[in-house]
Amino acid sequence: MISLQAIVDAVSLGGLYALAALGVALIFGVMRLINFAHGGLIMLSAYGLWLWSAYPVPLTILLTVGVAVVAALAMERVAFRPVRNADMSTLLVASFFVSSLLQNGWIGVYGSLGKSVSVFPGLLDRFDVAGLSIYRLDLVTLGTTAVLLATCSLVLTRTLIGLQIRAASENFVAARLLGVRADRVIPAAFAMSGVLAAPVAILLVARTGYVYPGIGLTPVLIAFLATVIGGMGNLLGAVAAGFVLGSLTTALQSFLPEAAAAYRDAFVFGGVLLVLVWRPGGLLPTKFEAERV
Amino acid sequence: MATWAWAGGGAAGRALALPAALILGVAAVATAVTAFGGPGLSEELTTALVFLVIVVGLYTFVGTSGIVSFGHMAFMGVGGYSFALMTVPPHLKGLLLPELPAALRLLSVQPVVAAVVAGLVAAGFAAVVGWPLMRLSPLAAAIALFAVLNIVFVVATQAYGITRGQEGMTGVPASTSEWTALGWAAVAIAAAYAFQTSRVGLRLRCAREDELAAQAIGIGVVLERFVALLVSAFIIGVGGALFAGLLQVVSPGAFYIDMTFTTIAMLVVGGMRSLSGAVLGTALVFAVQEVLRSLENGFDVGPLSVTSLPGLDLLGVAALGLLVLMARPSGVTGGRELL
Amino acid sequence: MGRRYVLRQMSPAVAGGTKRLRVVATAIAAAVVAAACGGSQTTTGNPIIVGAVMNLSGSISVYDLPTLNAFRMAVDDVNHSGGVMGRSLQLVTEDMHSTVADSRPAAADLLGRGASLLITASDYDLGSPAAFAAQSRNVLALAAGCGSIQCGPPGGAPLWFTFGNAGRSEGAAMAEFASRSKQFRTAWTLRDSAALFHTETWKGFRDRFTELGGTILGSETFAPTDTTIAPQLSRLAAIGRAPDVIFLTSDTTGGVAAIRQLRAAGYQQPILSTNSFDGSYWEQGVPGLSNFYYSNYASFYGDDPSKDINQFFARYKAKYSLPQNSILITGYALIQAFKLAAEKARSLAGDKLTAALESMPQMDLFVGPTTFTHDLHIDLARRMVVMTIQGGQPKALQYWTLSKLPRLDD
């Protein structure tokens, strides 16, 4: 039964990273910015969770999402709006700086030791189905990812702002010529990414019980890689890639022999490199990436 | 170089003015600091010069190709570890790395030679991992190199028998003096300049501006990027060796995110597209870092007394980098050379 | 700490003739006796400079700042009882920012200011540059809580000592506790793959547990940033036998998550661990935790078997605040040992102090009787305190001293 169980384990982490990738890919689509500071949003949400863990559940969730959205909007307004028109590499470097500011700012004020907190302990209930161990948290993660992906999709296809976001992703200049306000579209995308960052933090903290400044680094690193190998600008591709990377990490942990298990991450990154070399445009490349001479 | 000056006459002479000016400028500052500063300042000067080698190495790839490599610290690390393995005294290697093969354990090389070999090893490593990556788009290449850095980091922390893992290798003899560092800084600047004004370098810089247009006139970009990668890996590998000879210890964390962040900040602040930018940016950011470090233990502003602010230097550099990107994205030099 | 004049002024009433001579002789004798006693509150000028390279900022500061407080308390106590060889100790610190690059410059600075003792970071990687710098000037280097045997001759640093517990020792102690005290026969181990200390601890546990007839059912690793240990738990379930005890060695960053997931997965067995889990700051992540045991330096909950330790922590809490990890008492022990060594060697030269420390078995220190040898500048068999957490409340159980030295050769 171990291989089925391994799949169940893998799928859970895959779902979490898919969610993280979605948040990063959304901003990338609209601004060509791979937002490394998304990890900072996850960090702030996690600390918010620690602060408000004693409140009733709906309020806690609302406040946590609120913190992420406010931080995302502030980030956009203060740090990214002035560099909006820069090239992708500059934007990436800028997001790197913002991420460092957030993390070191936090450490400067609160120190680097984490805080432990128990939230939603019921999520760790386990039930056995046909010999497999499944945690409620795994189901909630998958459910949340699916719901948020569907919601994002609906917002992007059925609402005006969503349409504007998609137009801006296709061709920003043309969209503006047609009346799409950059100052509406980009903040909207950032707000959405905030809404996507908070659940990642909640699910992480529910499982680990520990909040520390670097908590957002691993998810955002995977999201980073997923955005590129998924096919830049392709939301579905990024989500799929995030899922695959998360699942691969867990699967390798299950299957690698003891001596090699500590090298697990090297294999995951090696896998990323292989994908990039085999399909430079990503697994599901979008049109804009393939320019022709 | 002297023959070029004669043969090329005025134009070549003017062209050599830039590296000469940069090198003389750095040398002048170094001499002044050594003459008038105390021993502590001398220590910091050496560190700044080593950073200069590293950033110039980074520039040789990033500035010429336009690809913001997040993985170059992998090459610095390869250089650093190679240098350590060559210079740590055999008896200490025997104690710290009992599983090391005898050939490596007994290896003992002069620091200057070891630095060159370290650079070559780093370049060799870059050749192997970098070749397939050079045909990727700039963003994909940046991320791919970051993946390479992570792989090197994981291997460095787990391959205990060769690297001592997280503990790191200590006992590297102190071989990086101010004059060693200054000498290598001059070599690095000269090499970077030679590359960027060579035909390969010029073609690459042309392609950097507009890849499509360059392709339209027949410039493939892959080979040029590859050469840039090798040259930059050599320089940054030497930088890693100098770093090891300065700190007298190599550990995986020294060649990972913090170093990536600091060196990219130095390049960005100075101006990514020019060699002068690399030099100026290093000096500027390093100075800011040192000032902030000294303030970390608290200071007085008039009647106010601010107690310790740990991490202020990293915060300050991040803020500075961001401000530069916002106000003047092409950096202090505007991406242009000083001369 | 004022000076007290030893020679008293002659009373004008006592004057003239042989009486004067007798008084003078008595006065001189009194002076000699008083000076020989080394009495209380008598220290001459010219303090001994103790240079401490500390991590006052950065991630390690969480451990170093309390240790610095312990140094301060120890230095004050020593100075109040006559100093070292009649001279007071003066503590001077430099911040190395939890960065290895700053270790040597900080040390060079302190050595330049005349430090006769250099206190290094409690980690081989972070501390060795400072230790080598001290060594090159024949200055003794001491680390408070370094758990590596390489803080000494095996690491190329013959003038360096540490008062910490080796990872191997902590693991072996918990193995003996599991096997002898609790009669556990089977164990499953989970260790943090990031830090060497945890690999060493695991090896110590594994070796001693199997030596005592126990069986290790499985050994797993995880990274501290891992968000899930589901694969490791699945492999545990696949073994088919429930272990008597689970041995977990990691820092709290990943460790809290591991404990939380273990308990949630239904594993209620005793969990054994090490000093990394000292302190109450992490307990909200696993509220009401029970059946958890760990090896420790001392208990700061007021129930340590040693009265002196309880008094020390009462003073510490009054002056500073609740500590997070008892490892800070190694800082106090360090200063105690320095005084012992200096007064035995009657010298501050590094090689003489080293010889003194190597020649005083069972030194009476706050961390327990400590012995250094010519080859090992860490005490591998020193007693530890086994703690337990029941219902979320940590308690001291008993001392534990290893019955034999742990293996070091695998």
- For B259, the token pair is 């170093």
CB within 8 Å: A104 and B319: no
Give the mean model confidence (pLDDT) for residues B180-206: 92
Which of A6-15, C21-30, C91-100, C106-115 comes out lowest in average pLDDT?
C21-30
CB contact under 8 A, A104 and B138: no
Q: Which residues of B touch C57 (CB under 8 A)?
A: 296, 308, 310-311
Q: Provide, rounded to the nearest whole percent, the portion of chain A with pLDDT above 90.
A: 31
The whole-angstrom separation of Cα B141 and Cα A280 is 9
Those residues with Cβ within 8 angstroms of residue C79's Cβ, 6 or more apart along the chain or in another chain:
C1, C43, C88, C89
Model pLDDT, residue C24 = 45
Q: Is residue A202 situated within a structural domain? A: yes
Structural domains counted in chain A: 1
Please, what sign has the CA dihedral across residues A278, A282, A284, A285? Answer: negative
For residue B38, name the pLDDT band (cuts at 50, 70, 90).
Answer: confident
ipTM of the complex: 0.87
CB-CB under 8 Å, A135 with C230: yes
* Closest residue in chain B to residue A89, using alpha carbons only: B68
List of chain C residues whose C-beta atoms are within 8 Å of the C-beta of residue A49: none
The pLDDT, as a whole number, for residue C395 is 95
Domains of chain C (ranges, CATH numbers): 12-165+305-379 (3.40.50.2300), 168-296+386-400 (3.40.50.2300)
Nearest-angstrom CA–CA distance, B322 and B317 = 8
Take residue B212 and report the two structure tokens written for it. 């499509």
Three-state DSSP class for residue C370: strand
> Is C58's CB within 8 Å of B167's CB?
no
Percent of chain B with pLDDT over 70: 90
For residues B140-146, average pLDDT: 89
pLDDT of C10 higher than 80: no
Whether the CB-CB separation of A165 and A189 falls below 8 Å is answered with yes
Residue appearing with tokens 């401490």: C52
**Integer Cα distance of A40 and A107 in angstroms:** 12
Residue C3 has pLDDT above 60, yes or no: no
- What is the predicted pLDDT for the residue at B221? 85
pLDDT in tens, B100-115: 898 999 999 999 999 9
For residue C200, pLDDT beyond 80: yes
B277 in A contact zone (CB under 8 Å): no
Q: Can you give the pLDDT at residue A1? A: 47
Q: Does any domain span residue A115?
A: no
Which B-chain residues 236-275 have CB contacts (< 8 A) with chain A? 261, 264-265, 268
Mean pLDDT of chain C: 87
pLDDT at A254: 83
Question: Domain range spanning residue A184?
Answer: 4-94+135-278
Token digits of residue A166 = 């998609």
Q: How does pLDDT run across B76-85, given as a tens digit for each residue?
A: 999 999 999 9
A112 reaches C (C-beta below 8 A): yes
Indicate whether A105 belongs to any domain: no
What's the confidence (pLDDT) of residue B8? Answer: 45
CA distance B112 to B175: 9
pLDDT reported for residue A30? 81
Measured between CB atoms, which of C59, C221, C324 is closest to A112? C59
pTM of model > 0.90: no
Most confident of B23-27, B157-161, B254-258, C387-391: C387-391
- Closest CA relative to residue C69, chosen from C144, C148, C140: C144
- Pick from C61, C101, C148: which is nearest to B310 by CB? C61
pLDDT score at B337: 86
Size of the A and C interface in Cβ pairs below 8 Å: 115
State mean pLDDT over C306-335: 93
Instruction: Please give the pLDDT value at position B305.
Output: 57
Establish if A45 belongs to a structural domain: yes
* Segment C85-101 mean pLDDT: 89
Q: Do A269 and B142 touch (CB under 8 A)?
A: no
> In terms of C-beta density within 10 A (0-12 exposed, 13-18 middle, 19 or more buried), how is residue A143 classed?
exposed
What tens digit of pLDDT does each residue of B219-238 get?
678 899 999 999 999 999 99
User: Residue B199 and residue A201: Cα distance in Å, rounded?
Assistant: 51
CA–CA separation, B62 and B273 (whole Å): 8
Mean pLDDT across A62-70: 95
Spatial distance between the Cα atoms of C182 and C175, rounded to a whole number of angstroms: 10
Residues C272-320 have pLDDT tens digits of: 999 999 988 888 889 999 999 999 999 999 999 999 999 999 999 999 9
Burial of B215 (0-12, 13-18, 19+ CB in 10 A): middle
Return the higher-pLDDT residue of C40 and B89. Answer: B89
Residue C17 has pLDDT above 60, yes or no: no
Q: Cβ contact (<8 Å) for C97 and B160?
A: no
Token pair 């390479």: residue: B148
Amino acid at C216: I
Interchain contact, A218 vs C225, CB within 8 Å: yes
pLDDT at C78 over 90: yes
Residues in C closer than 8 angstroms to A253, CB to CB, are 222, 231-232
CB-based burial of residue C86 (10 Å sphere; 0-12 exposed, 13-18 middle, 19+ buried)?
A: middle
Using alpha carbons, list the distances in angstroms from residue A254 to A106, A246, A250.
35, 13, 6
Q: What is the pLDDT of residue A173?
A: 79
- The shortest CB-CB distance from A16 to any of C225, C227, C231 is to C227
* Spatial CB neighbours of A175, under 8 Å, sequence gap ≥ 6: A164, A167, A168, A185
d(CA B315, CA C167): 35
SS3 letters across chain B = CHHHHHHHHHHHHHHHHHHHHHHHHHHHHHHHHHHHCCHHHHHHHHHHHHHHHHHHHHHHHHHHHCCCCCCCHHHHHHHHHHHHHHHCCHHHHHHHCCCCCHHHHHCCCCHHHHHHHHHHHHHHHHHHHHHHHCCCCHHHHHHHHHHHHHHHHHHHHHCHHHHCHHHCEECCCCCCCHHHHHHHHHHHHHHHHHHHHCHHHHHHHHHHHCHHHHHHCCCCCHHHHHHHHHHHHHHHHHHHHHHHHHHCEECHHHHCHHHHHHHHHHHHHHCCCCHHHHHHHHHHHHHHHHHHHHHCCCEEECCEEECCCCCHHHHHHHHHHHHHHHHCCCCCCCCCCCC
In this predicted structure, what is the pLDDT of residue C48? 95
For chain C, the chains sharing at least 3 beta-carbon pairs closer than 8 angstroms are: A, B
pLDDT of residue A286: 61
Pairing of strands B169-170, B249-250: antiparallel
- Kindly state whether residue A125 falls inside one of the protein's structural domains: no
Contacting subunits of A (3+ beta carbon pairs below 8 A): B, C
Phi, psi (deg, nearest 5) at residue C363: -60, 135
For residue B14, the model assigns a pLDDT of: 66
Cα–Cα distance for residue pair C165/C251, rounded to 1 Å: 16
Whether A288 is covered by a domain: the verdict is no
| Closest chain C residue to the Cα of B293, Cα to Cα | C97
Query: What is the per-residue pLDDT across C212-230, written as a single tens digit (0 to 9) for each?
Result: 999 999 999 998 888 889 8
* B240-290 tens-digit pLDDT: 999 999 988 898 988 998 899 999 999 999 999 999 999 999 999 999 988
Of the listed ranges B36-45, B175-184, C127-136, C233-242, the one predicted with least confidence: B36-45
The CA distance from B283 to the nearest CA of chain C, in Å, is 18
Nearest to A228 among B139, B151, B216 (CB): B139
Contact state of A263 with B261 under an 8 Å Cβ cutoff: no
pLDDT over 90 percentage in chain C: 69
Q: Give the residue among B36, B57, B33 at the shortest CA–CA distance from B44.
A: B33
Residue in C338, C313, C39, C284 with CA at minimum distance from that of residue C163? C338
Range in A41-55, A276-290, C233-247 with the lowest mean pLDDT: A276-290
Chain A residues contacting B, CB < 8 Å?
Answer: 34, 79, 82-83, 86, 88-90, 92-94, 96-98, 100-101, 104-105, 107-108, 111, 221, 224-225, 228, 232, 262-263, 265-266, 269-270, 272-273, 276-277, 280-282, 289, 291, 293
For residue C157, give the 3-state DSSP assignment.
coil
Evaluate if residue B212 carries a pLDDT over 80.
no
The per-residue pLDDT for C271 is 97
pLDDT score at B306 = 60
| Residue B13's pLDDT band (cuts 50, 70, 90) | low
Q: Which of the four pLDDT bands, split at 50, 70 and 90, describes residue B96? A: confident
Stretch C23-38: mean pLDDT, rounded?
44
pLDDT of residue A278: 85
CB atoms A265 and C256 under 8 Å? no
Q: For residues A92 and B69, what is the distance between their CA atoms, to the nearest angstrom?
A: 11
CB contact under 8 A, A210 and C253: yes
- Cα B242 → chain centroid: 10
With respect to residue A176, please indicate whether it lies within any of the assigned structural domains.
Answer: yes
Look at C129 and B157 and tell me if their CB atoms are within 8 Å: no
| Locus of tokens 């003489």 | C352
What does the CA dihedral B283, B284, B290, B296 come to, rounded to 10 degrees? -160
57-76 in chain C: CB under 8 A from chain B? 57-58, 61
